[in-house]
Structure 1
């Protein structure tokens, strides 16, 4: 009796790339998932038809994935592209900005907030300058309540 071991897939990325043209449409998603910046650049240079492609399972875009994976280089690359849809929702009704719940990266937070809410962010910056809070100085907090 001979028992053959199951083949072990050592490189899942190669598995997807070799499955034919039907899965190649997700190569930008895979590049974002595997933190492959150079590959993402090459894919986008060849055409941005994958820019807003959503995976068939959860509806995630490359931007959703890059934010979740906390990769500021890929997030920046994607946000710089003409035609990026920053309001697209995944299968759970989450926009890319909603994925910020999963990141602690300040750079990603600021990039995504600036792209999603440019007017509001500009207004907050203007307000901070008007109140003198943006000049790297410490602003004393006034206690609430009756004066002593």
Structure 2
């Protein structure tokens, strides 16, 4: 009887700690997601890539792009410098799932982005784009998560002259 009670106690305790760990991991990934939003509004490309793997892969518009580190940061900084974000908001909360050993995770994101920029004539325009993407993260030895891969799609942009 003592063995059964001990075993039951051990299983319940392990189950609770596993759920707590999963919740902590989910909270970390949601924090990273919020930091990405903040980086867009702050126009900070370095912050945007701070938690990305140096060999991150991006899939978009039928093309596969292997990270080029500083070059990617410069491209995004130039983009950030040319736009003003009005919205970079989740349409629905991200869906986050983990591998069984919780070494990998993915987040499915449904995002509405509204920004202003200038067209080729210098006239202000507002662009609205509805994005959906999957971000794949790998847990590092120190417990942090790094973005390994992102695959993205979007509805056609709506462009309105201002």
Shorter-chain TM-score tier: under 0.3
Rg (Cα) greater in structure: 1
Taking structure 1 as the reference length, the TM-score comes to 0.25
More helix by share: 1
More strand by share: 2
Ranked by relative contact order (alpha carbons within 8 Å, sequence separation 6 or more), the top structure is: 2
